[in-house]
Structure 1
Amino acid sequence: MTGLEQLAVLAAGLGAGILTSTVGVASLLSFPVLVAVGIPPVVANASNTVGMTPAGMSGSFGYREELRAHPKVTVAVIVTCALGAVLGAFLLLGLDPAVFEAVVPWLILFTCLLVGAQPWITRWLKRHHDAAHPPAPREQMSSTTTFFAALTGVYGGYFGAGSGVMMVAVLGLGLDLDLRIVNALKTLAVLSANVVAGAIFLLVADLDWPAIVLLALGSVVGGYVGARIGRKLPPTLFRVLIVIAGVVAAVAML
Structure 2
Amino acid sequence: MAGVFAAGVGAGAINSVVGSGTLITFPVLLATGLSPVTATVSNALGLVPGSVSGAIGYRRELRGQRRRVLKLGVGCLLGALTGATLLLSLPADAFETIVPVLVGLALVLVALQPRLAKLVQRRRERSGARPRRDGGPALFAGLTLASVYGGYFSAAQGIIYLSVMGMLLDEPMQRLNAVKNVLSALVNTVAAVFFLFAADFDWTAVALIAAGSGLGGYVGAKVGRRFSPVVLRTLVVTVGTVALVQLVLR
What is the aligned counterpart of 1:247 among 241, 244, 247?
241
Deviation at 1:97, TM superposition (A): 1.6
Q: Secondary structure at the match of 2:94?
A: helix
TM-score, normalised with respect to structure 1: 0.94
The two structures, once aligned, show a CA RMSD in angstroms of 1.2
Match of 2:182 among 185, 188, 195: 188
User: Which of 157, 162, 166 is 2:151 aligned to?
Assistant: 157
Q: Is the 8 A contact 2:156 2:240 kept in 1?
A: yes
| 2:194 counterpart residue number | 200
Q: Does structure 2 retain, via aligned residues, the 8 Å contact 1:76–1:141? A: no
Kindly indicate whether the alpha-carbon contact (under 8 Å) linking 2:80 and 2:152 is maintained by their aligned counterparts in 1. yes
Asked whether the 8 Å contact 2:124–2:130 carries over to 1, the reply is no
Q: 12-21 or 95-104: which moved more?
A: 95-104
Q: Structure 2 counterpart of 1:22, which letter?
A: V
The Cα shift of 1:107 comes to 1.2
Q: 2:95 and 2:241 mapped to 1: Cα distance?
A: 17
Q: Which residue does 2:120 correspond to in 1?
A: 125
1:77 positional shift: 2.8
Which residue matches 1:25? 20
Distance 2:49 2:72 in 1: 18
| Alpha-carbon distance in 2 for matches of 1:250, 1:69 | 34
Match of 1:225 in 2: 219
Q: What SS is found at the alignment partner of 1:75?
A: helix
Whether contact under 8 Å (1:12, 1:30) holds in the other structure is yes
Tell me how far 1:78 sits from its aligned partner.
2.1
> How many Å separate the matches in 2 of 1:124 and 1:141?
16
Q: Distance in 2 between matches of 1:204 and 1:129?
A: 47
- For residue 219 of structure 1, what is the amino acid of its counterpart? S
User: Deviation above 6 Å: which 4+ runs of structure 1?
Assistant: none
Unaligned ranges ≥5, structure 1: 1-5
CA shift, 1:156, in A, is 0.6
CA contact (8 A) 1:16 1:222 kept: yes
Q: Is the 8 A contact 1:77 1:185 kept in 2?
A: no
Equivalent-residue separation in structure 2 for 1:44 and 1:129 (angstroms): 46
Deviation (angstroms), 1:126: 2.5
Residue of structure 1 equivalent to 2:56: 61
Q: TM-score, normalised by structure 2?
A: 0.96
